[in-house]
Structure 1
């Protein structure tokens, strides 16, 4: 219980949003130093020092003594800004070219002349010049026109989703996962979503020809508010290959199929052909930590930091990592990472993982990957500090009765006990004699501590320190799952034992029935009919009772049999020690925990199935099966039959008649949703799918032949399959639409285009930008470079259904070199009756203005993440 209480305290701390302490607040009269009546002192920056920090990390040997001053000097400076180009954006090459040939060269020239500017530069270790770093102050931005233009460029592209702002070292862990386009990837502690976005980029960038990749990302976070932040971040990706869930990482559900549940008209045989257990090819395990690697962007940590912060999250980190390994496929890769420099959260956790998993998991040497990334090998020795006392081994903790310390925090991981405690753990439980060393002699002084040295290959881990490449600090370890974990194998053996019980029950039933029959034969010899009838009746009852009991027990064994693998995943894979108690290696305890899980599963199964995943505060995920609506959409837009709509559409509304949004999911996500349904909706899904269709809510929209329009987010996916309600505009007419938002049919530059637009059916249509050498009647082969927007064909005009910020982005891309359009504001909006701000309302009636205001709040919150 101690461990859980400690971890819950830490989790509560992690939920709190961190203020931007580098930003000086506005001065008011109460804190004005010129005001004699001021009660409060003027604002002062945080002191970027902490004696305890210095003492702790000098003792741990994170860096050598001769580079300590350089390490601390950089650690006290604000962190440079870093950002990444979204490689899946259709304009990513243009953006990279603009950075390389415009901003970088201009700033380099000004740096040479003025001497006070640092040019922006790509991160040398990130592939394809897609990650960049800049280091300018607000004062420099205000004084320099090129910097101001660069700053506006960053803001616009970030809001569109073409650029993601992310700390440089935070970009490293996904690069070591070796993600392929067909991989199922699990991001266990995903908020605020920068790494999730990066993982999706990798999957999409390596997919073929702009088609949806076969893989997917499942992003999870403990806190609902942080899940919302994650959803907002990844929404800019416009992906159908993402599921966002809300669970504790260490208790993530073992989502398995119950074969006796059918879906619609599907048969059991069809279900058995689909996936029956949710396992992942890759897992990113970026766990909650003390966060002292982020001191440069969060200097408030300086005053809060103490040597015991890492001790409080150590056990939670092990639990999350072990749970992630249990969800990893054999042959898969997991990256364990923290933004902490503390070995108790880093090497100690990795060492404990390797001890628990044995030969099933290996620590991968990735020193040859990303050669331009400067990294340092992991430590093989370290100490633990608790309440001002240094501890070199668990022996010291036992003698000093340090109840918050566990053996896994130390390099050897050995447990120690004295001669008088009869080999009992700190909480009174029996422990095995293996890896236990008896105490002898007095506790040594701090100067005489005998340091333990790990015999595991921890040098294969990597630690990134700030002064090597002017970044934050990070720790990364790459793990490869060679075979099933030991606990899973143990559960399999238990499963075999339970299966053999079935045969024993059958034998017992046969034996008892035989005895009853033999009793009848013996009695029948004395010729007493009444006794024969009496014994026969009794035998019938006994046989019936035995058969009933046997069937019930056999049913239980079968049910247990089906759940045994799920229990192995849901139960802790090995006994998790309470904080302050040494680990117990008792297989009986593990089996007992599994049996309790089985009993709980049996009693709660019916309740789970009845709930059907209606999590409190979370809308259900339902497959959209209204054939009338689906056929109406197909007919209106002429959607080619090769595009898989049926079975790939989901909603979050139980009432099909009032569905406002229809989402599209990829094949991989569809399979997981099917599995989740068959398993009793164990996953608490907060977001899934790509918004593909939206119901028309305006007066004019309700009279259109099709009541759903194509969403801007979903248009790139469905565009190649649309054969109706689509027109190809010249560059002039396309720009005019973006500028003026609504144009009457007679006012288009090309009269034929205006006539074709007038001939379209009332409702949503798609306008594609055609090349200059193409005529209006030419069919254009759609590819990743095709530019298209959704519009509304009204009774007398054509109106765009794209946000103002998207219009601005497209105009700038189409007007390269035209500085007046590039830097000036657009003409006032001239929306038609189908005004986008009114029409694009949310499921609960949220207007676009409200949505933008909420997005601004979320951006402010995530600025320091």
Structure 2
């Protein structure tokens, strides 16, 4: 007799087997594999079916044991490590550790450059704040929602409940939906409070070139874009440039998706190892450079954000699994990667420029030790700034001057104390007393290195190869571990002013933990410093290749093996990371999940420029330096551009020629045309001059797109809604103005017959317009459409529509339509639509 507890019937297995047999076709090898799987499944089925059912008591015990238990929020090694480092005073340790065990409060930031900034602030302060105070004050306190006091302009908000509580509490459902929707359209960013701090210390100016070295998933990049767009001149794109880089291709996709909400023409997304970020060139007059046969100026950055990969224990309130995984080897294994990335950032920084180094780790080996090593390597070329007078309401603590290093449960005060066979893992730069990265490493030659998998291999491990370090998982100490007997207070301290660094600890302002240091470049790094960095990077690459050849199964990349703080710390949507990575992006590269590259052909330069024809032909023949990607070319079809300009009446003061790019190698059948700012244009052109050193995966904003209409439109392209705010002040044709009620009906029904508009005059104007794309502007009051007033009013609301044979069709995405509906309904006191499907059919004709 077959026991009732079997999970599947024999009939279903036989049916599945028959299906598999029919599907195998001519693939014998594959078919044999599938039949083998079926045979195993049948054997398992009969084995389980003939086994006697367990007694009820055993089933009950099994169910009780199978019940899930939350992970314990404790780790003796973690507590021992940070007690020894004394990152907080002994009398506040209990408060510190208790806060770490509490859920992290949710926080979000309002987009300072949003068109609807005032509406969102008003809704928060007048609607949701009062609602939450009345509905959940008993559960979460009177200040259930309040602005973060240290963030400028009351644009960042703190909630007294976690994201999980926000999702689960029915009383908070409407507020949760509000946050999700506004985040989707780019009006707010759901981001942890301490993650908002580093960009604030960069002191961004309107014309700055900014590099975000480890940018994904993009919260800080979005914050940088807010800053440059907030300071732009009316009616013009910003002059600034943001290059956002990440090493991981999938995370670049997530970065692009998040940054796309800003609708900016000033962003370039690149895919490089941050420590090997390439040189490229920049010049304002390429033709003059080519004419004089001189080398273009090297591209340097006014600001660099160096938010490096780290062990991420500052996010322990949000990622409770960190309690189980944490060990001191995680920070040791990332230390030199963090140094290499930061040194590369300093090398790319202009003299007088500012770099912010940050981690979401509390570990001094990843924080103060890295900053000390940067100052040590750069000599007098770099200074650590004292910014204690900035953001006075942000509670922060000075950086440590003394700390110790732990390895396999043992504590060390200096590098000389480290055993000989561990000197390649525990480096001199990890200690506060170190004077040089090269001290004490000569004994590391011909030593045996233990890998994480338990294997070992011998090789000549030279001094400069210490960048290749391993995450040692043996950092969990126990009662039998040997410990250094001295206290931290008696440890040798650093001579650098590390108290100018900032450490944010969770119990000061009910937040996560973070570390921030602000550096300024005073003079170019000297030749020996640059040679040392380059030599280290070259040997690191060679060393990695040798190890891959000898021990491919043991290769460990530190920032992939350990917890990467940017994955767990800034993924802000309720969906999982994988779901966010798979979100569709409205560009060519998203459809096939490939990265898109920039390749400029011979049409990428002006006719009068003395370009090397042979080199350009070589570039064209190989299609792209970066294999497996689509090209991005300057769009130079003058006939098409003139047709677009004439059709929409685009003012000649808006620069199109030289600012349009396409991602299709077939320029005769270009589907989408993207617009780029002048700063991006200059970088692209000179990226060709440097033989495509930059591996660019995304840039620009979609401005024009082909249509398939057969209505007799005279222009082959239509406008894109996402670029409309940029182009709107310069359009003089194909524009209509609609009353609030007709505008509301358009957004709600999407397609309306000309005869069904409330304002008969608007319907007549729409009917008299030639078929094709047009712009409908929201008319406030009874005034006629004034193109000049639109150019001077950044609050103008407009949408892209299609004038068909007998209908007006809205060409705006559902989230954007929903947002606009809510705005005008609230602003003009209109009644919200509650129409049935019959009315929809009548209106759509």
Give your verdict on TM over 0.5.
Answer: yes
| Match among 323, 343, 356 for residue 322 of structure 1 | 343
Q: 1:626 to 1:420 in 2, by over 3 A?
A: closer
8 A Cα contact 2:631 2:664, kept in partner: yes
CA distance in 2, matches of 1:193, 1:829: 43
Report the equivalent of 1:540. Answer: none
1:598-613 correspondence runs (5 A): 611=622, 613=624
> In structure 1, the residue corresponding to 2:705 is in which secondary structure?
strand
> In structure 2, the residue corresponding to 1:136 is in which secondary structure?
strand
CA distance in 2, matches of 1:248, 1:355: 23
Q: 1:605 to 1:694 in 2, by over 3 A?
A: closer
Report the equivalent of 1:770. Answer: 779
| Structure 1 position 254, deviation (Å) | 1.0
CA distance in 2, matches of 1:627, 1:192: 38
Report the equivalent of 1:390. Answer: 411
8 A Cα contact 1:293 1:341, kept in partner: yes
> In structure 2, the residue corresponding to 1:329 is in which secondary structure?
strand
| Match among 239, 249, 263 for residue 214 of structure 1 | 239
| Structure 1 position 697, deviation (Å) | 3.0
8 A Cα contact 1:768 1:788, kept in partner: yes
8 A Cα contact 1:395 1:416, kept in partner: no
CA distance in 1, matches of 2:678, 2:630: 22
Deviations 1:587-612 (A, max 9, x none): xxxxxxxxxxxxxxxxx999879646
| Structure 1 position 452, deviation (Å) | 1.8
Computing the radius of gyration over CA atoms, which structure comes out larger, 1 or 2? 1
> In structure 1, the residue corresponding to 2:391 is in which secondary structure?
coil
| Structure 1 position 806, deviation (Å) | 1.3
Q: 1:33 to 1:98 in 2, by over 3 A?
A: farther
Report the equivalent of 1:338. Answer: 359
Report the equivalent of 1:802. Answer: 812
> In structure 2, the residue corresponding to 1:802 is in which secondary structure?
coil
Q: How does the TM-score come out when normalised to structure 2?
A: 0.75
Q: Cα RMSD between the aligned structures?
A: 3.7
Report the equivalent of 2:218. Answer: 193
8 A Cα contact 1:221 1:246, kept in partner: yes
Q: 1:313 to 1:828 in 2, by over 3 A?
A: farther
> In structure 1, the residue corresponding to 2:819 is in which secondary structure?
helix
1:46-125 correspondence runs (5 A): 46-111=71-136, 118-125=143-150
8 A Cα contact 1:249 1:320, kept in partner: yes
| Match among 175, 179, 187 for residue 162 of structure 1 | 187
8 A Cα contact 2:420 2:444, kept in partner: no
CA distance in 2, matches of 1:270, 1:784: 42
Report the equivalent of 2:380. Answer: 359
| Structure 1 position 739, deviation (Å) | 1.3
Q: 1:430 to 1:47 in 2, by over 3 A?
A: closer
Report the equivalent of 1:172. Answer: 197
Q: 1:822 to 1:411 in 2, by over 3 A?
A: farther
Single out whichever of 232-241 and 778-787 deviates more from structure 2.
778-787
Single out whichever of 410-419 and 315-324 deviates more from structure 2.
410-419
CA distance in 2, matches of 1:833, 1:747: 6
| Structure 1 position 614, deviation (Å) | 3.9
CA distance in 2, matches of 1:397, 1:766: 71
| Structure 1 position 751, deviation (Å) | 1.6
> In structure 1, the residue corresponding to 2:77 is in which secondary structure?
helix
Q: 1:244 to 1:390 in 2, by over 3 A?
A: same
| Structure 1 position 720, deviation (Å) | 0.6
8 A Cα contact 1:281 1:333, kept in partner: yes
Corresponding position: 1:45 with 2:70:
yes
Structure 2 gaps, min length 5: 1-53, 448-459, 465-481, 545-614
CA distance in 1, matches of 2:199, 2:225: 10
Corresponding position: 1:129 with 2:150:
no
Equivalent residues, number: 687
Report the equivalent of 2:494. Answer: 454
CA distance in 1, matches of 2:75, 2:644: 64
CA distance in 2, matches of 1:207, 1:257: 22
Deviations 1:77-119 (A, max 9, x none): 1111111111111101110111112211232244556776752
| Structure 1 position 39, deviation (Å) | 9.1
Report the equivalent of 1:303. Answer: 324
Corresponding position: 1:369 with 2:378:
no
Q: 1:781 to 1:743 in 2, by over 3 A?
A: same
8 A Cα contact 2:105 2:159, kept in partner: yes
1:650-799 correspondence runs (5 A): 650-700=661-711, 703-775=712-784, 780-782=789-791, 783-799=793-809
Q: 1:33 to 1:420 in 2, by over 3 A?
A: closer
Report the equivalent of 2:516. Answer: 476
CA distance in 2, matches of 1:606, 1:33: 76
CA distance in 2, matches of 1:832, 1:721: 36
Report the equivalent of 2:506. Answer: 466
CA distance in 1, matches of 2:483, 2:72: 32
1:812-823 correspondence runs (5 A): 812-816=822-826
CA distance in 2, matches of 1:33, 1:175: 60
| Structure 1 position 148, deviation (Å) | 2.2
Single out whichever of 311-320 and 250-259 deviates more from structure 2.
250-259
CA distance in 2, matches of 1:798, 1:382: 69
CA distance in 2, matches of 1:172, 1:417: 34
| Structure 1 position 136, deviation (Å) | 3.1
| Structure 1 position 831, deviation (Å) | 9.9
> In structure 1, the residue corresponding to 2:722 is in which secondary structure?
coil
1:467-546 correspondence runs (5 A): 467-487=507-527
CA distance in 1, matches of 2:829, 2:779: 24
Report the equivalent of 1:312. Answer: 333
CA distance in 2, matches of 1:419, 1:476: 29
> In structure 2, the residue corresponding to 1:815 is in which secondary structure?
helix
CA distance in 1, matches of 2:744, 2:295: 48
> In structure 2, the residue corresponding to 1:240 is in which secondary structure?
coil
Q: 1:777 to 1:300 in 2, by over 3 A?
A: closer
CA distance in 2, matches of 1:829, 1:405: 73
Q: 1:831 to 1:579 in 2, by over 3 A?
A: farther
8 A Cα contact 2:801 2:811, kept in partner: yes
Deviations 1:612-646 (A, max 9, x none): 64422332221011111111111110111111000
Q: 1:308 to 1:103 in 2, by over 3 A?
A: same
